[in-house]
Amino acid sequence: MTIDTTVLGYPRIGPDRELKRATEAYWAGRTGAEELEGTARALRRSVWTGLRDAGLGTIPSNTFSLYDQMLDMSVLVDAVPERFRHLDGLDAYFAMARGAEGVPALEMTKWFDTNYHYLVPELGPDTRFRLVRPERAKPLAEYREARGLGVETRPVLVGPLTYLLLAKAAPGAPDGFRPLDLLDPLVEVYAELLERLAGAGCAWVQLDEPALAADRTGEELDALRRAYERLGALPSRPRLLAATYFGEIGDALPVLAGTRVEAIGLDFVAGPGNLRAIASIGGLPRRTLVAGVVDGRNVWRADLGRALSTCASLLGLAGDVVVGTSCSLLHVPLDLAAETGLDGALRARLAFARQKVDEVVLVGRALREGHEAVAAEIAESRAARDAEGAADYRVRARLDALGEGGGRPDRAVRFAAQARTLGLPPLATTTIGSFPQTAEVRAARADHRAGRITTEAYEAAMRAEIDRVVALQEDLGLDVLVHGEPERNDMVQYFAEQLDGYAATANGWVQSYGTRCVRPPILHGDVARPEPMTVRWTTYAQSRTRRPVKGMLTGPVTMLAWSFVRDDQPLADTARQVALALRDEIRDLEAAGIGVVQVDEPALRELLPLRRADRPAYLAWAVGAFRLATSGVAPGTQIHTHMCYSEFGEVIGAIGDLDADVASVEAARSHMELVTDLSAAGYAAGIGPGVYDIHSPRVPDVEEMEESLRRALGAIAPGRLWVNPDCGLKTRGYAETEASLRNMVAAAHRVRATL
């Protein structure tokens, strides 16, 4: 038995987001392909040599990407839709990612339940997979490049099953076509690539199959078997690691174990049940088990004692054990060394990608040399980890006393009360919260942050912006106004900065998609609200108009989904703490005369567990947290919520359970079907199906929105129908925003006149 160490993948953006800068300079035409490639090469080298110098046993390659690893696969196997074929090289690659003159990009969507986005392959019966320029294929080139630096690597590819399950049928593909139909020809391309990698001297290849962490049909498992039997049977190939992550792989485990793959990677952080599953199939003797014991999704130091005992149990169940991360480290920031401003006690509890490599190496040493050899390091880690996050016993006591929060009176009672307090017309018009963030607004925020302008000057600039936005909305004739959110950099970070129990990083960047990186705040202790967070701005806006101004907050689930969250208590408990802070904020808004409050939950769908069996429990706490936040107000105070993603499916029932008075949802691209679906699911409150798509600068005309509203009225009474765009306007310009909203209000008025 040998014990090795590895990671499944590593951040590629560089310590200073060098990849972002180089790519954007290339897009802007300021630099050429050579310079971009030079930066890319330097970044790859620093990752490989850095991992080697850290003492990691086996180092992955082909985890670098200029944009996205799924896009890389599509290009590798020539799954390039016709509309990009007149372009080549980097032009074609980036056009697929971002679109080009008259050529829309591939669709982009979330990678499982992470905040990383991939480009969705578009496949049809005409797709002809082939290995493009085999000698220069990216995985082969990177393997050779690393070898040239003296680093032997294990190229990583998205596995064939996951690639196809994440693909969509190309527009125009016949009904009934499924990407999975293309498994056999796709596997032949993998086969050719594996043979070439073997020819280049490559000993191991990693095939990522995270799709196995979700429910899979018997047919899909058959496809898995077929693919890996074919690849396993190749006469000349590297050894294969089928890497799974993001959860338990259930029925897929015996299937993989029945093929000839030499190694299986299992996630023991998101999928603790994987341990029992291995035991139940009698272990994996003669196989290598890559044990994902260090969390690749979160920023906390590992519980090394637990990691060690998991690995120790595996020693008796597998041929060889490789200590590894639960998934690629793509999802965590690169290096804690760059965080000098964090509170010392918090910093001691953290491990970013670079520190996680050390943890993997340490667990490997402990297994090989015995605990005693690394006892000091383990003790130090335990002490740091056990240092509690700030506990707030007041928050805990209040939550215990509140229970569910009491709930709100009957919907009919609220409806009548709100008719009195607000007196809104049928088909009331509103927006989702943010107005365009102009260069001046961004500059004012940046200047204030950097201390270049005084707080007074900054606040005056924000008030001037609110004045403008309120005046514009009055001029447009909207019924429920907003303050426009000019003071918010980001809908989560803005609140995180004001809540106790949250910390911001200076450099904790994580790739969200392409060159877009985010810096999720760290929720590390009990959450409490030292003082009101939004009341000043909202009441200022309300002081400028007689129409109702809607307060704007981010909901508990979204506050967790877009942060790194403490893992020492259930998410549900943390969600309740955030909810309590919001509940206080909403009551303060109400007391200050605000009659409408919106609580955004765009991430409700995103946190939905991959396995169906886990969903009811999740939805129960997610809905409970929303209700706790919103149930402290009088019946006459109107609670809105907003969600934006097109695939509501699984959560449609939950939207009603939130018990808001109005839900505004993205529907512009789904032709109002959502209104029918919601009604069918028993939803009885107000609905604002977005009547136009804010993701495009196009100005919709009055007639098309009028038509949408009339269609919606087929499924809902006019008093319950709201008229709004499908999301916030902050990424849009003023010209199109004004024109679109003017048309939207006109459409509402026309329909109203015919009621």
Residue from 131, 144, 116 nearest 44 by CA: 144
Q: From Zn ion, ligand GLN, none, which one binds at residue 434 (CB under 5 to 8 Å depending on kind)?
A: ligand GLN
In contact, 309 and 345? CB cutoff 8 Å: no
The number of residues that bind ligand GLN (CB under 6 A) is 13
Q: Among residues 58 and 493, whose Cβ is nearest to ligand GLN?
A: 493
Residue 20 parent element (H or E): helix 18-27
User: Given the rule CB under 6 A, which of 212-220, 364-372, 427-435, 714-722 is the region that contacts ligand GLN?
Assistant: 427-435
Q: Among residues 362 and 727, whose Cβ is nearest to Zn ion?
A: 727
Cα 372–378–384 angle (5° rounding)?
Answer: 155
Catalytic residue of the set 117, 331, 671, 695: 695
Tokens (6 digits) for 236: 């000349």
Residues 603-642 binding ligand GLN (CB under 6 A) are 642
Strand 510-513 relative to strand 516-518, pairing: antiparallel
Give the E-state strand segments of 199-341 in sequence order: 204-208, 239-243, 263-267, 284-294, 318-325
H-type helices in 701-755, by residue range?
Answer: 702-713, 734-753
Position among 603, 644, 660, 747 found at the interface with Zn ion (CB under 5 A): 644
Q: In 10 A of CB 109, how many CB atoms?
A: 16
Position among 353, 428, 644, 721 found at the interface with ligand GLN (CB under 6 A): 644
Position among 730, 737, 743, 744 found at the interface with ligand GLN (CB under 6 A): 730
Per-residue burial over 134-161, b if 16 or more Cβ lie within 10 Å, else e, is eeebbbbbbbbbbbeeebbbbbbbbbbb
* Residue number with the smallest Cβ distance to ligand GLN: 728
User: Given the rule CB under 5 A, which of 149-157, 537-545, 568-576, 636-644 is the region that contacts Zn ion?
Assistant: 636-644
531 to 497, 563, 582, 584, 588: CA distances (angstroms): 12, 21, 11, 9, 10
Q: From Zn ion, ligand GLN, none, which one binds at residue 433 (CB under 5 to 8 Å depending on kind)?
A: ligand GLN
Q: Among residues 182 and 727, whose Cβ is nearest to Zn ion?
A: 727
Q: Which residues contact 64 (CB under 8 A, 6 or more apart)?
A: 12, 40, 43, 44, 47, 142
Q: From Zn ion, ligand GLN, none, which one binds at residue 123 (CB under 5 to 8 Å depending on kind)?
A: none
Task: Write phi, then psi, for 88 (nearest 5 degrees).
Answer: -140, 175
The binding track of 377-406 with respect to ligand GLN, each residue x by CB under 6 A or -, is ------------------------------
Measured CA to CA, the distance from residue 168 to residue 109 in angstroms comes to: 11
Active site (annotated) includes residue 695: yes
Provide the Cα torsion 66, 72, 74, 77; round to 10°: 140
Q: Among residues 489 and 676, whose Cβ is nearest to ligand GLN?
A: 489
Q: Is 644 annotated as a binding residue?
A: yes
Give me the least distance between CB of 550 and ligand GLN, in Å please: 10
The binding track of 702-721 with respect to Zn ion, each residue x by CB under 5 A or -, is --------------------
The partner residues of 600 in beta bridges, in order of sequence, read: 554, 642
Position among 602, 635, 688, 689 found at the interface with ligand GLN (CB under 6 A): 602
Q: Among residues 628 and 665, whose Cβ is nearest to Zn ion?
A: 665
Q: Which residues contact 433 (CB under 8 A, 6 or more apart)?
A: 482, 484, 485, 550, 552, 598, 600, 642, 728
Measured CA to CA, the distance from residue 343 to residue 432 in angstroms comes to: 36
If one asks whether residue 433 binds ligand GLN (CB under 6 A), the answer comes out as yes
Residues 700-729 binding ligand GLN (CB under 6 A) are 727-728
If one asks whether residue 303 binds ligand GLN (CB under 6 A), the answer comes out as no
Q: Among residues 528 and 668, whose Cβ is nearest to Zn ion?
A: 668
If one asks whether residue 353 binds ligand GLN (CB under 6 A), the answer comes out as no
Q: From Zn ion, ligand GLN, none, which one binds at residue 247 (CB under 5 to 8 Å depending on kind)?
A: none
Residues 500-559 binding ligand GLN (CB under 6 A) are 552
User: Given the rule CB under 6 A, which of 201-209, 429-437, 473-481, 573-581 is the region that contacts ligand GLN?
Assistant: 429-437
Residues 588-607 binding Zn ion (CB under 5 A) are 602
Measured CA to CA, the distance from residue 238 to residue 660 in angstroms comes to: 56
Distance, CA of 473 to chain centre: 32
Write the DSSP symbol of residue 363: H
Q: From Zn ion, ligand GLN, none, which one binds at residue 552 (CB under 5 to 8 Å depending on kind)?
A: ligand GLN
If one asks whether residue 727 binds Zn ion (CB under 5 A), the answer comes out as yes
Q: Is 730 annotated as a binding residue?
A: no
- Residues at the contact surface with ligand GLN, assessed by CB under 6 A: 432-434, 485, 491, 552, 600, 602, 642, 644, 727-728, 730
- Active-site residues: which are they? 695
- Residues at the contact surface with Zn ion, assessed by CB under 5 A: 602, 644, 727
